[in-house]
Amino acid sequence: MKKSILSLVSLFLICSPLLAAKPVALFDGKGLKHWQLPKNNAWKSVDGELTPTAKTGYIWTKKDYSDFELSLEFKMSEKCNSGVFFRTDPDNPVQGGFEIQIFDSHGKADYGKHDCGALYDAMKPSKNASKPAGEWNTMSIRAKGSKVSVHLNGEKVVDADLADWKEGNKNPDGSKNKFKTALSDLPQTGRIGFQYHGHPVWFRNVSIVELD
């Protein structure tokens, strides 16, 4: 009996961190309280979906996030070019953070480090797992320290260690990238945001779990 109780206590102690990690709905279709709205109201909640309503722009979380697992669904229009930013400085999104590419490239040419699901300009996805324009995709992004992984429609497409990027404007494979600062030296905390480049994109069921 004592052994059984000890086993249950041990199991509880092992599992308690997992039980404590509760997801927070960043966007569930009911409002934008977790988001810093652009001055031009370029993003809105419409029919339970987060969608841009202006020509271009970003929308950012009010809060910074460091280690997390982000889950979301997105739908692209034809020729859509968008992205999910994380650990990013909203005042310097191009150089001050990271982006997972959203791009209408299902069944098209290999766009390499700019393909849908890529760690933008830094690592190409292992495969293009995106669905055609007009269909909903699922994506999860996990960032823990220097480790970043991405699942797209159930397929693991990125498994990166940012510590491998030791030089500015250079990827570990020797190719060039846009980042003046080595990815390993960029901050490991910042905002999460969505980008809009002029072709409609929709998001829904956006949730996050902060990792210890």
Band of pLDDT at residue 40, cut at 50, 70 and 90: confident
Q: Show the tokens assigned to 156.
A: 């693991």
Kindly indicate the confidence band of residue 146, based on its pLDDT and cuts at 50, 70 and 90. very high
Q: From 25, 208, 189, select the one nearest 96 (Cα to Cα).
A: 189
CA pair distance 94, 85, nearest whole angstrom: 10
Per-residue pLDDT, 19: 53
- Reported as type and span, the H/E element at residue 204 is strand 201-210
- What is the H or E stretch that residue 207 is in? strand 201-210
pLDDT value at residue 20: 59
66 vs 37, more confident: 66
Measured distance CA(43)–CA(12) in Å, rounded: 43
The helix or strand, by DSSP H or E, that contains position 175, with its residue range, turns out to be none
In terms of pLDDT, which residue wins out, 111 or 7? 111
Q: What is the CA radius of gyration of the chain?
A: 18
What domains lie within the chain, and their CATH numbers? Answer: 23-210 (2.60.120.560)
- Averaged pLDDT, 150-164: 98
**Rounded mean pLDDT, 8-15:** 48
Q: Which tens digit of pLDDT belongs to each residue from 84-124?
A: 999 999 999 999 999 999 999 999 989 999 999 999 999 99
- pLDDT tens digit sequence for 190-205: 999 999 888 999 999 9
Query: For residue 41, is it left (φ>0), alpha (ψ between -120 and 50) or beta?
Result: left
